[in-house]
Chains A and B, each alone.
Chain A
Amino acid sequence: MSTPVLRVEGLHRAYGRGPTRFEALKGVDVEVRAGESLAIVGKSGSGKSTLMHLLALLDRPTSGSVELNGLPADRLRGRELNRVRNQTFGFVFQQFFLTPSATVLENVILPLKIAGVGRGERKRRGMAVLEQLGLADKAKNKAIDLSGGQKQRVVIARALVNDPQVIFADEPTGNLDTTTGAAVEDLLFGLNRERGITLVVVTHDEELASRCDRRITVRDGRIEASATAPTAAATAAAPGEPGRPTEGVAA
């Protein structure tokens, strides 16, 4: 089996000290394989968000190791860490986190701007990804004028624009009604299937979790269960090759 994209071992994360010390994670081992879709489920306060933050290198563990593509992540510092975050990961949040007064295109190209990509190149790549998601006609609209489903598609476009290896989705459908939620799910799984982008979904939505190749359940800072979804067993055993040519994405 190839090197996992992300691997964590013996992960502990504690907040505070003394009597108020609280352990959010109490020894977690997880492997995220390239090209799979992984659901991290659990009740609120179970530590699933903390786990996601550690996987996304936004946080450092109290103890334990995080490896990115087989290399220990705690060696990454400052500029290099920022570059890895910028180029390896994409984020989709429940609350969207769009800048309301900025246009759709400006929101989408934010990661490219941070990466220091030139103006023309930014626009070209931003428009290309909006085209793929069927939002090209909304490029000049203000983000605040969009519907919930459109907003989440813009967020996905923003996560995609840097061509990331892994997309982290934190309750991606939490703020959407069933129909639009389903459309957003289709979009994410389509990207996973057709472009080989690894998908890590944090959710407490059973239905969403069941669509993932694999799920881990976090309870009280420990992994309670790890299961492979029956429908996705075949793909999980032989994950799609990353970087496979795109054949168009379902919107």
Chain B
Amino acid sequence: MTPADVVGSAVANTFRSKTRTILTVLAIFIGAFTLTITTGLGTGINRYIDQTVAEIGAEDVMTVAHQAEETTDDGPREYDPDAVTASGLGADGPGGGGTIDPITDDDLVTIAAIDGVESVEPLKQVSVDYIQHDDGTRYEVSVGSFIPGMELVLASGEQPDPDAAAAQVAIPVDFVEPLGFDSQADALGSEVAFGVADATGVEHVVTVEVVGVSEAGLIGTGNSVSPNTALTDELYAAQATGAIGQTDLYGSAVVTFDPELGETATQALKDDLDEAGFTATTVEDQIGAFQSVIDGIVLVLNAFAVIALLAAGFGIVNTLLMSVQERTREIGLMKAMGMGSGRVFGLFSTEATFIGFLGSAVGVVLGMVAGTAVGDALATTMFADLPGLTLIAFDPTSVASIIVLVMAIAFLAGTIPAGRAARQDPIESLRYE
């Protein structure tokens, strides 16, 4: 028998017992469908994160802070009046919190001297009491750290200009109406006021022009206002009025480096900073933490789908064992007519693989249709405030690998009945009633 004939016969045999084949295909379909959806979920979310990284665009900066002291088993920590709370790039970002030694002006000099550091700026953290427009209602708000090079996802207006001498701010889209603006366009060019309490408790009011309205993102700016450098400095100065000690202390510093030099150079820079007693975190590192959490969740979901597929694999074993049993005499006849055991094995294992292919092809196609429909529906309802997020997305490689994986599982399941068929003795088989 030529290989083409083996495949042709196997495919024809698959449809001989239609009900049984359909039920087995259905079991595989469920597994493949689930696997397609869960993989699509991983692809969709990670793709969104990648997009977000691109939008932030601050690839050439890393946040540098002092390494956290060893706190485990040390008992209660001694109070340090100079300690500050460190934070990452965004107010909503992961990895924030924890009290660490502040970055001092001396530290800035040390960092600037490290090879590979192009420039270093302290990350000034400001917190304001309220935001207000035109004597309207006062709202609580947090102020994000706007790092040069970062790009906001804008609903309208422009990015705050880090180099502008005048103070500028972008406000989140959610604040437009509560602040009393008629529309986003109305907000642009208007002035808002920030209330800042200084160290002595005196209230300062800083007035600033709104240049942009930002969309809520998964990470990054979130629901905080994004100031430009001039505004940050102004707010920081107001906040630091009358403070003793803390003025020249920062939670962290932002180091600019050249990402073009590649991963190794970046890692070397991190290692150098590490040696000097600092922890450096790039945007990628922070996003990476997100991605590994999501990859972990997707992995668990995929594991469930694979368990379903394994169960379906036993369905294949069962179906084909019945088939071998039913076709005992046919197998005996073919062997009597000079068909080799290898070909008999090939015939049945190909049949198993084909059943796997049917189940996975149908599962993948319907999974993609359903996933796309659900993803689109959620994008306009539940995740309407996360523009650009397609919860379930597909790429050809992962879809193809699902089909290949299912076919491999089916082939493995098929080896059991195929081996039994191959070992059959022609005489015994022909006597079989």
Contact = CB atoms under 8 A, between A and B. Distances in A.
A97 B330 contact: yes
Interface string B1-12: 110010001001
A127 B339 CA distance: 22
Most buried by B among A78, A87, A110: A110
A85 B336 contact: yes
A110 B2 contact: no
Interface stretch (A31-39, A111-119, A233-241, A243-251): A111-119
Given A53-B427, A99-B330, A85 B337 contact: yes
Contacts of A95: 329
B338 A85 contact: yes
Contacts of B426: 58
B337 A91 contact: yes
B83 interface: no
B333 interface: yes
B423 interface: no
Main secondary structure of the interface of B (DSSP, over half): helix
Given A85-B337, A111-B337, A116 B5 contact: yes
A217 interface: no
A85 B426 CA distance: 12
Contacts of A111: 337-338
Contacts of B339: 82, 86, 114
Interface string A74-87: 00001101111111
Interface in B294-340: 329-330, 332-334, 336-340
A59 B336 CA distance: 10
A110 B5 contact: no
B425 to A, nearest CB: 9
A122 to B, nearest CB: 9
B340 A82 contact: yes
A110 B427 contact: no
A189 interface: no
Nearest to A53: B427
B337 A86 contact: yes
Contacts of A84: 338
B346 to A, nearest CB: 12
Contact of B1 (A81, A85, A116): A116
Contacts of A99: 330
B430 interface: yes
B140 to A, nearest CB: 76
A123 to B, nearest CB: 13
Interface in B329-367: 329-330, 332-334, 336-340, 343
B340 A79 contact: yes
B337 A114 contact: yes
A97 B329 contact: yes
Q: How large is the interface on B (under 10, 10 to 19, 20 to 34, 35 or more residues)?
A: 20 to 34
Contact of A97 (B5, B9, B16, B333): B333
B338 A115 contact: yes
A48 B162 CA distance: 102
Q: How large is the interface on A (under 10, 10 to 19, 20 to 34, 35 or more residues)?
A: 20 to 34
B329 A86 contact: no
Contacts of A87: 338
A114 B16 CA distance: 20
B427 A59 contact: yes
A130 interface: no
Given A116-B1, A116-B2, A97 B338 contact: no
B336 A91 contact: yes
Contacts of A147: none
B338 A86 contact: yes
B1 A114 contact: yes
Interface string A110-152: 1101111000000000000000000000000000000000000
Given A113-B5, A116-B1, A82 B338 contact: yes
Interface in A165-192: none
Interface in B2-35: 2, 5, 9, 12, 16
A101 interface: yes
A202 interface: no
A31 to B, nearest CB: 23
Contacts of A56: 336
Given A78-B340, A114-B339, A116-B1, A58 B334 contact: no
Contacts of A58: 336, 426-427
A110 B334 CA distance: 8
B334 A114 contact: yes
A114 B9 contact: no
Contact of A114 (B12, B338, B430): B338
B11 to A, nearest CB: 13
Contacts of B427: 53, 58-59
B338 A83 contact: yes
Most buried by A among B1, B332, B337, B343: B337
Nearest to B340: A82
A113 B1 CA distance: 6
A111 B338 CA distance: 8
Contacts of B338: 81-87, 111, 114-115
Given A97-B330, A113-B5, A114-B337, 4 more contacts: A85-B338, A86-B338, A97-B430, A114-B1
11 contacts: A59-B427, A82-B340, A83-B338, A84-B338, A87-B338, A91-B333, A91-B336, A95-B329, A111-B338, A114-B334, A114-B338
- Which 6 pairs between the two chains have the least Cβ-Cβ distance? A86-B338, A85-B338, A82-B338, A114-B339, A97-B333, A111-B337
